[in-house]
């Protein structure tokens, strides 16, 4: 069980950073093939995903130092588009931090714009916990797809 939970945490963490990963597949597999309580799986996946988003926020705060490094994964155009969206919708845009492609840059932009960490965590936690809860409910047949 510990290995499965660690794998879920790591996959969710990586999925929330700027590197591609599929934590949803890991969660669904564990929901269907283990007896681990679904609430525990949602908590572990959410904590990992929130942690990865927090790394993005920190990278955003450090972007002046890193943005021109060859390994830095955010292209200037993607960053500019995310800044525009973030300014247009404000901190509420972080409720979309779970959405592939746009979510990760939004969390970086929140750091660039020096959004306070407590506000950042509030909005990101709602988004991440909501996504994993919904996925769990649909997977277990509690809610229709």
DSSP for 55-94, please give it.
HHHHHHHTHHHHTTSTT----HHHHHHHHHHHHHHGGGGG
pLDDT, position 44? 98
Does residue 52 have a pLDDT over 80?
A: yes
Name the phi and psi angles at 69, rounded to 5: -75, 145
More confident residue, 2 or 9: 9
More confident residue, 124 or 100: 124
Does residue 121 have a pLDDT over 90?
A: yes
Does residue 83 have a pLDDT over 80?
A: no
Of all helices (H) and strands (E), which one includes residue 108? helix 103-112
pLDDT, position 43? 98
Does residue 73 have a pLDDT over 70?
A: no
pLDDT, position 69? 76
Does residue 76 have a pLDDT over 90?
A: no
Question: Please, what's the b/e burial string for 131-144 (b: 16 or more CB within 10 A of its CB; e: otherwise)?
Answer: bbbebbeebeeeee
pLDDT, position 105? 86
User: pLDDT tens digits for 94-111?
Assistant: 998 988 888 888 898 899
Does residue 65 have a pLDDT over 80?
A: no
pLDDT, position 38? 97
């Amino acid at each position: 069980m510990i290995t499965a939970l660690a794998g879920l945490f790591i996959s969710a963490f990586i999925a929330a950073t700027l590197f591609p990963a599929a934590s949803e597949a890991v969660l669904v597999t564990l929901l269907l093939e283990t007896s681990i309580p679904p609430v525990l799986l949602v908590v572990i996946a959410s904590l990992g995903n929130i942690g990865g988003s927090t790394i993005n926020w920190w990278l955003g705060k450090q972007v002046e130092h890193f943005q021109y490094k060859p390994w830095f994964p955010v292209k200037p155009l993607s960053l500019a588009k995310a800044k525009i969206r973030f300014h247009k919708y404000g901190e509420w845009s972080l409720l979309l931090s779970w959405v592939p492609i746009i979510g990760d840059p939004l969390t970086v932009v929140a750091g660039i714009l020096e959004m306070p960490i407590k506000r950042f965590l509030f909005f990101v936690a709602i988004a991440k916990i909501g996504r994993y809860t919904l996925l769990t409910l649909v997977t277990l047949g509690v809610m229709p797809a």
